[in-house]
Amino acid sequence: MDGCFGPADWGFELLRLTILAFQHSLFSGNSLLLKEDAHFCAITINTNAWTNAGHAVNQVYDLLYMMGRDDIPVGVGGEGGIREDGTILPNVGGYLPIIEQGLTTTGGCRYRQAIPKGRYGGILDIDSNYGIRKAFLPQGSRKYHPLQQPTAQQVMIDTISSGPINVFVIGGHTNFAIFLMNNPHLKKNIKHIYVMGGGVRSKNPTGCCPKNASSTCKPRQCGDPGNLFTGYTSNPYAEFNIFGDPFAAYLVLHSGIPLTLVPLDATNTIPIDEEFFDAFDQNQKTYEAQYCFKSLKMTRDTWFDDQYYTSYFMWDSFTSGIATSIMRHSQKNHHGENEFAEMEYMNITVVTSNKPYGISDGSNPFFDGLKIPKFNLKKGGVHSGHVQKSLQDPFCLTENGKGRCKDGYTMEVTGPEGVRVLVATKAKPNQDAKSPLEREFYKSFLDVLNSPEQSGRFKFTNQFPYFKEVFYKPDFGKKKLGKNVIFDMDMSAGDFLALFFLLKVPVEVINLKAILVSPTGWANAATIDIIYDLLHMMGRDDIPVGLGDVYAMNQSDPIFSSVGDCKYVKAIPHGSGGFLDSDTLYGFARHLPRSPRRYTAENSVKFGAPRDTDHPELRQPLALDVWDSVLKTLDSGSKITILTNGPLTTLANIILSRKNTTSLIQDVYVVGGHISHGGTMKGNVFSVPLNEHAELNLYLDPFAAKTVFESDLDIKLIPLRAQRRVSSFPKIIERLCQTKKTPEALFARRLLSTLHHLQEKHHRYRHMHTFLGEILGAVVLADDHSFLNATFKSKPIKLYATGDESMDGQLAIDEKQGKLVKLLRRVNPKAYYDLLANRLGDKKQSAVIASFEEQKRIWTTPPNRTETSS
């Protein structure tokens, strides 16, 4: 089928089939495209750049639900791989650039390390849309579910097989390039490719010295062809979308399919200027317009300097506008004529490696160590040179501060290496000379986004007729509160089960003062919202949650600290059984009730921000903020017990930056570590074969672990050997089936049953028992060793942290240099399962609201009827 029809107001045919391959980011144009004339067939998500798969896919589902488009399939991820001989297996997930892709979803961050992971416009803010996503978007029935989520390749194959289609690529090119490599017979169905990215003749307008600047001002990326603001000292030529996977972009460009490029040349001429911003502020008639403006305003309010209006551009939305305009004119237009941008044909290519070609310096996996280059690439060809390895790659650095690497550069060339491409060069001026809006596209953007046709149906707060935001805070009355405890977690599935348990322990035994998050382990930082939802379910909106550093110790870039390497965290899979599942709690996060608390990018001058946002009181506290505030609440003579269930990043930072407060730490229970006992028992770093004897929590930040182990803290270690003794899924599930059916017990049983089922069904989930063992620390801490018959024995322990991945994180008994640490030696497994199940089934300190479904029933029932029925 060709899907063409002629809208009455245009009088000519318009191709109505479009597939969008994009990275979910602000102003990615998805809302605009949903309202344009183009018939939206499918969305696939690029997950190796500005967003993480689990957060992105659920956000897209919610956006489509708001727009009434649950019919649009969404593809993300996949567990396929690429063999060393270049064989591409089905359903490669696109989590890694092609040059890094092996047989699994674990791998390095050669290109992605240029993108900040945390706040101030980094991946954390994109995953959560600055906190606006959870506050604004309604929640429908579609969600990620393990092994049932359509993959990116599956959606592309199904959609493109159906007939002629246009493809918009407004993110990295990995998914689409793999599709083209594996499905050459379907190329004939692709009529045109529209790409946002690259810079051909562009000159970066940001990072320039003002005209009246002093002689001490040094320009940064001013005049560069690219926009890698974190990496221009090594690569001033690349643009983020192309740099995310240069080889993939090369394959798309050289595919032989007609292609239109909207590079920085054009987008640099359409900034979010003050006049457009003010006009947008006054023109928010639809929910999608409100959502976009709220997002845009937050980027402005949190911008790092006062040059926002000349530094932030309409990248993807401008591309969407140009593409749909060209498509409307397609029947009588062979030169890309459109209302919004000037166009020109250019011969270009994408640089994938640096001269001299044919060298072998360990930087290029396509050639290094292979007799036959991967994909049969030409020896000595354009792909055979040095490939940039990092932001501080010595090959790329020069004495004058301007890098020489060109990986990802969309370079204009002459000769056979170039491809003739239609390129947008400049945004057209507004045809209405009296309008305050300088560009023609500004007006069209606001008109389309505010059009009542194909408009959003509702936002979250009016999705339900009786919505009411409620904070649940307990009244302990005259109860004598127990041991002061802070829980430091990395948000793995086991950590959430441990948190349930801690919240069920009588407050007379454990007084959970705070939760600290170390997002250097199993989950990404935006997953902090699941903690807020779980606390809301349990009626504990009073417990503060502090966010720790997003990089392990010594991993942040020495020049630009908001970016960094992934030397250790690359051991965690991006796909099934890894970040994708942790960030969604294996699909169960959507079952939790929605908390009024959430991560937000709100900020305050008080905490070092350049300006106050609208609601600085909603700022997400950092881990050290929460630590400081908890200390102020301690009674004289009181101390704190810390339970760590992940990497020791946050605790190490407390030791190093709050040295005068560590005396207030009574003891530390560390869940992690492994002593191999003569090499007979292996650790659990399953994705790093060379390191057989480390345990993941200590491996993921070995230098932080070394800091903790060499401190004066009283450490009680819950090692891997003890955890394995209580890691039987059948036994704990059986006990939970026998206990009372509290909401938290039911939730735990369903989650554990899912983990067990996945472990038995798919090899990517073979490590699920790891999370069951992580609950042990909380149970031992609460039991005070009596019911469990837990016994500790002091041993002199030495931890290895030298930068050697084959040794880092390992523990050894060292009588001379080791520090005395109390090791959990024995525990009664049956008593453990009984205590865990009975505590979760206890009606005391149980959930105050069971689920999102219960919340929905409350919000759809008149208040007087709710009160009567209760």
pLDDT value at residue 36: 61
Q: What is the mean pLDDT of residues 790-812?
A: 96
**With 50 as the cut, is the pLDDT of residue 737 above it?**
yes
**With 80 as the cut, is the pLDDT of residue 866 above it?**
no
Contact, 394 vs 364, CB < 8 A?
no
pLDDT value at residue 35: 61
Contact, 191 vs 45, CB < 8 A?
no
CA-based radius of gyration for the chain = 28
**With 50 as the cut, is the pLDDT of residue 345 above it?**
yes
Tens-place pLDDT, residues 435-467? 999 999 999 999 999 999 989 999 999 999 999
Among 713, 693, 677, residue whose Cα is nearest residue 822: 713
Contacts of 507 (CB under 8 A, 6+ apart): 474, 476, 479, 481, 482, 845
Contacts of 845 (CB under 8 A, 6+ apart): 503, 504, 505, 506, 507, 538
* Share of residues in the chain with pLDDT > 90 (%): 88
Give the residue, 504 or 401, on which the prediction is more confident: 504
pLDDT value at residue 18: 55
Distance of alpha carbon 291 from its chain centroid, rounded?
Answer: 20
**With 70 as the cut, is the pLDDT of residue 583 above it?**
yes
Going from the C-alpha of 151 to that of each of 162, 245, 547, 669, 806, the distances in angstroms are 17, 19, 31, 40, 33
Going from the C-alpha of 667 to that of each of 10, 48, 702, 716, the distances in angstroms are 73, 40, 20, 7
Q: What is the mean pLDDT of residues 676-702?
A: 93
Task: Please provide residue 812's backbone torsions phi and psi, each rounded to the nearest 5 degrees.
Answer: -145, 150
Contact, 266 vs 426, CB < 8 A?
yes
Tokens of 411: 């370079």
Contact, 37 vs 12, CB < 8 A?
no
E strands, 297-363, where? 341-350
Among 98, 106, 162, residue whose Cα is nearest residue 350: 98
Q: What is the mean pLDDT of residues 252-270?
A: 97
Domains of the chain from N-terminus onward: 4-209+219-271+315-352+387-454 (3.90.245.10), 484-858 (3.90.245.10)
- CA dihedral (136, 141, 146, 147) positive or negative: negative
Q: How far apart are CA 160 and CA 166, in angstroms?
A: 9
- CA dihedral (144, 146, 152, 155) positive or negative: negative
Going from the C-alpha of 296 to that of each of 27, 313, 568, the distances in angstroms are 8, 11, 34
Long-range contacts of 615-622 (CB under 8 A, 24+ apart): 618/131, 620/119, 620/131, 620/528, 620/547, 621/544, 621/545, 621/546, 621/547, 622/546, 622/547, 622/548
**With 90 as the cut, is the pLDDT of residue 207 above it?**
no
Provide the greatest CA pair distance for the chain: 86
Among 244, 208, 274, residue whose Cα is nearest residue 114: 244
pLDDT value at residue 93: 96
Tens-place pLDDT, residues 210-229? 888 787 888 889 999 999 99
Q: How far apart are CA 648 and CA 400, in angstroms?
A: 39
Tens-place pLDDT, residues 610-634? 999 999 999 999 999 999 999 999 9
Counting Cα atoms < 13 Å in the Cβ hemisphere of 836 gives 35
Q: How many residues does the chain have?
A: 870
Average pLDDT along the chain:
93
CA 518-521-526 angle, to 5 degrees, is 65
Tokens of 109: 């961050």
User: Would you place residue 4 in the very low, low, confident or very high pLDDT band (cuts 50, 70, 90)?
Assistant: very low
SS3 75: strand
Tokens of 384: 């055979």
**With 80 as the cut, is the pLDDT of residue 165 above it?**
yes
> Which DSSP category does 339 fall into?
S
Among 600, 603, 711, residue whose Cα is nearest residue 295: 600
User: Would you place residue 22 in the very low, low, confident or very high pLDDT band (cuts 50, 70, 90)?
Assistant: low
- How are strands ordered across the β-sheet holding 819-826? 545-547, 510-517, 483-489, 640-644, 665-671, 715-718, 819-826, 791-799, 811-813
Contact, 785 vs 822, CB < 8 A?
no
Contacts of 649 (CB under 8 A, 6+ apart): 518, 520, 548, 549, 552, 553, 701, 704
Q: Exposure of 528 by Cβ count < 10 A (0-12 exposed, 13-18 middle, 19+ buried)?
A: buried
pLDDT value at residue 16: 33
**With 70 as the cut, is the pLDDT of residue 684 above it?**
yes
Contact, 517 vs 547, CB < 8 A?
yes
Query: Which of 36-40, 92-96, 304-308, 473-477 has the highest average model confidence (pLDDT)?
Result: 92-96
Measured between alpha carbons, how far apart are the two ends of the chain, in Å? 56
Instruction: Provide DSSP, 469-506.
Output: --------TT----EEEEEEE---HHHHHHHHHHHHS-
User: Would you place residue 21 in the very low, low, confident or very high pLDDT band (cuts 50, 70, 90)?
Assistant: low
pLDDT value at residue 30: 53
